[in-house]
Structure 1
Amino acid sequence: MRIVMIGAGYVGLVSGVCFADFGHDVICVDNVAEKIEALRRGDIPIFEPGLHELVKSNSDAGRLSFTTDLQKAVGWADVVFIAVGTPSRRGDGHADVSYVYEAARQIARAASGYTVVVTKSTVPVGTCDEVERIIRETNPDADISVVSNPEFLREGAAIGDFKRPDRIVVGTEEPRAIAVMTEVYRPLHLNQGPLFFCERRTSELIKYAANAFLAMKITFINEIADLCERLGADVQKVARGIGYDKRIGDKFLHAGPGYGGSCFPKDTLALVKTASDADSPMRLIETTVAINDNRKRAMARKVIAACGGSVRHKKIAVLGLTFKPNTDDLRDAPALTIIQALQDHGAEIAAYDPEGMAGARALLSDVEFGEDPYAIAAGAEALVLVTEWDEFRALDFRRLHATMKVPNLVDLRNVYPPQEVRRHGFHYVGIGKGGDRDGHRD
């Protein structure tokens, strides 16, 4: 199949590269010439494990190419995926689908022969209807089918998610489009990738419903963690105990500083706005959004309490800036809010992240960036573990104790057993560890 991916960002690039790796011929289109030139050189604009190698191997094999010439690429294609950004719109929180609609207009002018146009971007319910209207209005003679095909990729594990998916949701009821999309995803049949066909509007809502549910699950366990701290219970054991129930499952039950990233914050907000406009408010999701926003600053208060009630003129070392490990994505990362809140209380911040420091320098001011955990810990009165990168899972606490001014560890991901850390002379604060604060119950 000849596939064009409009948008060489995270979703478009990963999806396009994986399609090429399955043997399809793929062209990734983007209107940023510098990005296209970098991709042609093999310079990848995002950090995603394994992506660089796949770009190189498929480019070398001639199955993957990059261009700014949308018209020529679309005219060549059997299937055109729209994978442009849909950020939260300023002022009202709705998803901004203007880039999707502009792509639709350009596709309408360039399409040649029967073409399946697929919205891969996360879009509000009804967007595909509008995409089809725009195409038919722009070019009444266009022979097209418009399909919804949401992505379910986790940053840091996107290639594995694409190649071994839980499900492939395709929104169309047109027989020709069903046949084409079945062929597009045929290579995944060997991995038992289940193709689920449904109506377009159902497909669009599935994406929002999935992300909202996962965000709600994270928020639920975070509130249970707060209760554990009050009642003297252990949230990790609670999560394990309820996770054995197959109706609940153990995924997304890891208490922490709140969710961030490119999907959950904007998608929950967009769903709330969509539901409100439809006069069907979603109170659970509204509350989830509010709780998560408040939680990030609450984590700063936890650090302040660990430092005796004040961080003014105290050095605080922050481990991890990205919203999760194995990505350089800083969008809505809890660390950014926590750092700002600590600075508002007079703290001096030092920070380290394996992949996120270049982006963080543009977002944070008055922060000292170090080359490793031990460099930033020197003279610090607290070490705050915010993102659970693998290299933070086996810290040398003897070395840290020797270099820190006050041996405080605030573990916002519960990476370490409290007893192990205390054995090295540290004061330990975790999340939802009410039964093990300083070795005894409150």
Structure 2
Amino acid sequence: MRITMIGSGYVGLVSGACFSDFGHDVICVDKDAGKIEALEAGRMPIYEPGLEQLVAANVAAGRLTFSTDLAASVAGTDAVFIAVGTPSRRGDGHADLSYVFAATEEIAAAATGPTVVVTKSTVPVGTGDRVEAILREKRPDLDMPVVSNPEFLREGAAIGDFKRPDRIVIGTDDERARGVMRAVYRPLYLGESPIVFTGRRTSELIKYAANAFLATKITFINEIADLCEAVGADVKDVSRGIGLDNRIGKKFLHAGPGYGGSCFPKDTLALLKTAEDFETPMQIVEAVVKVNDSRKRAMGRKVLHALGDDAKGKTVALLGLTFKPNTDDMRDAPSIAIAQALDDAGVAVRAYDPEGMAAAKALMPALTYCRDAYEAATGADAVVIVTEWDAFRALDFARLKGVMAAPVMVDLRNVYARDGVEGAGFSYTAVGR
């Protein structure tokens, strides 16, 4: 199959590289000439474990190429995937679909024969209908069915998620389009990955419903963590106790500073806007968004409390800045709100992250950025674990204590056991324990 991927960001690049690894011929297109030039030179625009090697192998095999020329890339292709950004629109939280519709217009102008147009971008219900209307208006002479095929990739584990998915959702009622999509995903179908064929609008809603539900699980256990602190219980044991119930499941039941990243914040807002447009209130999701926003600020207050009555003039080391480990993504990361709360209180912040410091510097230029955890902790009155990178799971407590002004640890990810940290002479604050 010949596949064109429009958009070479996180979703487009990972999907394109994996499709090419299946044996398809893939062209990844992007308007950013600098990004395409970097990709052709083997430099990745994002950090994702294993991606650089996967791209290099398929470029060398001749199955994966990059281009800024959308017209030439679309001509004669079997399937065109739209994988452009859909950020939250300022003012109302609705997904900004301008990039999706611009790509659709260009596809219509460039297509030279029948092709299947696939929306891989996360889009609100009904977007596929609008994409189809544009194509029919611009090119009534061509058969270009529109398919919804949402992605379910976790940053930091995207390649594995793509190649060993829980499910593949394909939204279309067009038989020819179903056949093309079966051929595209044939390697996964042979591996018995379940394919869910459904209507296009249903497929679009599945993506939002999935992310809203996962965001709800995170927010639920964070509120349970607050109750655990109040009553003297341990949220880790509560999580395990309820997670072993297979009706609930253990995933996304880890208490922490709140969710962030490229999906949950914008997708919950977009779902709420869709519900508002269709006059169908979603009070649970509304509460999730509100609680998560306040959660991040509350973590800043937790750190200030650990510093004592007079925090002004003190120094804190933040370990981990990205919203989760194994990515360089800073979008809606809890570290941003925490750093702001500390700065507002007159606290100096020293920071270290294994992959996210370049992106963090653009958002938080006032922080002091360090080479490793121990440099960040030098002279600090408290060290705060914000993101659970592996590099922070086996810290040398003696070395850490030796460079700090005061032995205080705030563990916002519950990485450590209290006995071990306090046994090393630290004051220890965790979440929900």
- Report the equivalent of 2:247: 247
Per the alignment, in what secondary structure is the counterpart of residue 311 of structure 1? coil
AA partner of residue 278 (structure 2): A
Per the alignment, in what secondary structure is the counterpart of residue 222 of structure 2? helix
**1:18-417 correspondence to structure 2 within 5 Å:** 18-417=18-417
Aligned counterparts of 2:298 and 2:54: Cα–Cα separation in 1: 41
AA partner of residue 285 (structure 1): V
Shift of 1:191: 2.5
AA partner of residue 360 (structure 1): A
Aligned counterparts of 2:146 and 2:366: Cα–Cα separation in 1: 49
Per the alignment, in what secondary structure is the counterpart of residue 36 of structure 1? helix
- Report the equivalent of 1:438: none
Per the alignment, in what secondary structure is the counterpart of residue 76 of structure 1? coil
Aligned counterparts of 1:350 and 1:223: Cα–Cα separation in 2: 29
AA partner of residue 108 (structure 1): A
Shift of 1:135: 0.9
Aligned counterparts of 2:323 and 2:199: Cα–Cα separation in 1: 33
Aligned counterparts of 2:201 and 2:131: Cα–Cα separation in 1: 12
- Report the equivalent of 1:4: 4
AA partner of residue 318 (structure 2): V
Unaligned runs of 5+ in 1: 434-442
Do 1:115 and 1:144's aligned partners in 2 also have CA atoms closer than 8 Å? yes
- Report the equivalent of 1:436: none
AA partner of residue 18 (structure 2): C
CA shift digits 1:193-228 (9 cap, x unpaired): 111100000000000000000000000000000000
TM-score (norm 2): 0.99
Aligned counterparts of 2:80 and 2:324: Cα–Cα separation in 1: 31
Q: Which runs of 4+ in 1 moved over 2 A?
A: none
Shift of 1:141: 1.1
Aligned pairs, number: 433
CA shift digits 1:248-283 (9 cap, x unpaired): 000000000000000000000000111011100100
Shift of 1:189: 2.1
Aligned counterparts of 2:69 and 2:16: Cα–Cα separation in 1: 16
TM-score (norm 1): 0.97
Do 1:217 and 1:252's aligned partners in 2 also have CA atoms closer than 8 Å? yes
Taking only aligned residues, the RMSD between alpha carbons, in angstroms, comes to 0.6
CA shift digits 1:137-175 (9 cap, x unpaired): 112212111000000000000000000000000000111
Aligned counterparts of 1:143 and 1:103: Cα–Cα separation in 2: 17
CA shift digits 1:345-382 (9 cap, x unpaired): 11000000000001111111321111000001011000
Unaligned runs of 5+ in 2: none
CA shift digits 1:114-133 (9 cap, x unpaired): 10000000000000000000
Per the alignment, in what secondary structure is the counterpart of residue 145 of structure 2? strand
AA partner of residue 23 (structure 2): G
Aligned counterparts of 1:366 and 1:7: Cα–Cα separation in 2: 33
Moved more, 47-56 or 107-116: 107-116
AA partner of residue 313 (structure 1): G
Per the alignment, in what secondary structure is the counterpart of residue 147 of structure 2? strand
Per the alignment, in what secondary structure is the counterpart of residue 143 of structure 1? coil
Do 2:76 and 2:113's aligned partners in 1 also have CA atoms closer than 8 Å? no
Do 1:108 and 1:142's aligned partners in 2 also have CA atoms closer than 8 Å? no
Per the alignment, in what secondary structure is the counterpart of residue 305 of structure 1? helix
Aligned counterparts of 1:309 and 1:131: Cα–Cα separation in 2: 57
Per the alignment, in what secondary structure is the counterpart of residue 142 of structure 1? coil
Shift of 1:88: 0.2
Shift of 1:110: 1.0
